[in-house]
């Protein structure tokens, strides 16, 4: 006789327990501490903390033009990176689905490579490509296209290139997943009804790809919003993003309460992005 163990609420709790304890210890507790910390303040000129609750840190973030500027830069940079990723990933994902055939697995593997090998290695590689004496400038100069090196490092251009490189897979994968589920007959039907390829994209394919576009955009936007290594290395400290501000405060200035407040603000924006994404997804799900 085949005896299956009973799944009772007790056994379920036991099964979840190790992971729950771990999550509570290394995530929930520190996170709660972070929240509390952000309402404390640093006693000026010392490392001791003033534990009376205050909104001063938040007021500072939203009134000081330096931090406000960093927040603004991070937001539009993330939006811009998301847009570029979308424009690059749409044709790529569709090509992989329609034409890659047997090479599909390999191509998907290659396209998720930047995710697997971490942020540091590809970013350091990009430094070699983008620096004033790097491959790109060298090649352009030797071809006579440019006289002096293009500034590709230590500015928004470099950071954008780096972030797009790092997070393109987050856009490609959900898009492949969505596009695979769109039967090609939809396009054929639309064309027989008089839609040119451009109209087919606008009226049929893009609306049907929307769930994948929303998912991919959300992933890329959140990843870019919190990115630290890439903007730090390719921005060479000259591009101020929110993550680098938090790092400065936590590791150099040692104003932990303020660093915590910066972190919480970043989390709030992540939550906001997630909320917008969820609302759009729900709207789409109800629509179809």
Partner 1 sequence: MTGSPYLRIRSIKKSYKGAVALHDIDLDVEQGAFVSLLGPSGCGKSTLLQILAGLLEADGGDVQLGGEDITNLPPWRRNIGLVFQNYALFPHLSIRQNVRFGLDMLGMDRTEAEKRVDESLAMVGLDPALSRKPGELSGGQQQRVAIARAIAIRPRLLLLDEPLSNLDAVLRHKVRLELRELHDRTGITTIMVTHDQAEALATSDRIAVMNGGRILQYEAPEALYRAPATAFIAGFVGSPPANLVPLSALDNNSWTLANGQVWKPIASLAPRAAGVRAGAACIMALRPEALAVGVSGEGGLPGRVVAIEFIGGDRLVHVETGGTQLTVRVSAEQAMAGPDILLFPPQETPLLFDANSGKRLKADF
Euclidean distance between CA atoms 246 and 259, whole angstroms: 5
The nearest distance, CB 92 to partner 1, in angstroms, is: 23
Beta bridge partners of 41: 50
Task: Pick the closest to residue 165 from 224, 222, 217 (CA basis).
Answer: 224
Q: Is residue 196 within the footprint of partner 1 (CB under 8 A)?
A: yes
Residue with token string 């570029």: 84
Of the pair 182, 270, the CB lying nearest partner 1 is at 182
The nearest distance, CB 83 to partner 1, in angstroms, is: 23
DSSP assignment string, 61-121: HHH-HHHHHHHHHHHHHHHHHHHHHHHHHHHHHHHHHHH-GGGHHHHHHHHTHHHHTTTHH
- Of 208, 219, 239, 266, which lies in the binding site for partner 1, with binding defined by CB under 8 A? 208
Q: Is residue 135 within the footprint of partner 1 (CB under 8 A)?
A: no
- Of 25, 186, 237, 278, which lies in the binding site for partner 1, with binding defined by CB under 8 A? 186
Find the part of the chain contacting partner 1 (CB under 8 A) among 94-102, 168-176, 201-209, 225-233.
201-209
Q: What is the DSSP letter of 198?
A: H
The nearest distance, CB 194 to partner 1, in angstroms, is: 3
For residue 190, what are the contacts with CB-CB under 8 A and spacing of at least 6?
199, 200, 203, 204
- Of 133, 192, 252, 285, which lies in the binding site for partner 1, with binding defined by CB under 8 A? 192
Name the token pair of 206: 């893009």
Of the pair 188, 238, the CB lying nearest partner 1 is at 188
Q: Is residue 177 within the footprint of partner 1 (CB under 8 A)?
A: no
- Of 5, 9, 44, 287, which lies in the binding site for partner 1, with binding defined by CB under 8 A? 287
Q: Is residue 288 within the footprint of partner 1 (CB under 8 A)?
A: yes
Q: Are 126 and 234 in contact (CB under 8 A)?
A: yes
Measured on CA atoms in the order 253, 256, 261, 264, is the torsion positive or negative? Answer: positive
- Of 203, 238, 282, 283, which lies in the binding site for partner 1, with binding defined by CB under 8 A? 203
Binding-residue total with partner 1 (CB under 8 A)? 20
Q: Is residue 188 within the footprint of partner 1 (CB under 8 A)?
A: yes
* Residues at the contact surface with partner 1, assessed by CB under 8 A: 183, 185-186, 188-196, 199, 203-204, 207-208, 210, 287-288
């Amino acid at each position: 006789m085949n005896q299956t163990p009973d799944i009772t609420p007790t056994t379920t709790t036991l099964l979840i327990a190790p992971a729950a304890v771990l999550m509570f210890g290394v995530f929930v507790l520190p996170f709660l501490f972070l929240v509390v910390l952000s309402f404390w303040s640093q006693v000026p000129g010392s490392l001791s903390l003033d534990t009376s609750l205050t909104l001063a840190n938040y007021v500072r973030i939203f009134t000081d033009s330096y931090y406000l500027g960093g927040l603004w830069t991070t937001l539009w940079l993330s939006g811009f990176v998301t847009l570029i990723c979308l424009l690059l990933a749409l044709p790529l994902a569709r090509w992989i689905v329609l034409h890659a055939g047997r090479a599909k697995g390999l191509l998907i593997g290659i396209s998720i490579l930047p995710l697997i090998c971490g942020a540091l290695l590809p970013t350091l590689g990009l430094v070699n490509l983008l620096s004033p004496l790097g491959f790109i400038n060298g090649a352009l100069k030797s071809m006579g296209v440019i006289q002096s090196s293009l500034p590709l490092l230590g500015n928004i251009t470099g950071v954008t290139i780096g972030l797009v490189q790092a997070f393109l897979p987050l856009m490609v994968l959900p898009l492949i997943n969505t596009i695979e589920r769109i039967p090609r007959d939809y396009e054929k039907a639309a064309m027989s009804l008089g839609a040119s390829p451009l109209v087919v994209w606008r009226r049929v394919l893009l609306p049907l790809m929307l769930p994948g576009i929303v998912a991919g955009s959300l992933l890329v936007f959140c990843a870019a919003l919190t990115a630290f290594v890439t903007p730090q290395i390719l921005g060479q400290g000259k591009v101020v993003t929110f993550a680098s501000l938090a790092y400065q405060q936590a590791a150099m200035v040692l104003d932990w309460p303020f660093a915590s407040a910066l972190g919480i603000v970043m989390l709030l924006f992540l939550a906001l992005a997630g909320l917008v994404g969820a609302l759009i997804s729900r709207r789409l799900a109800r629509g179809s």
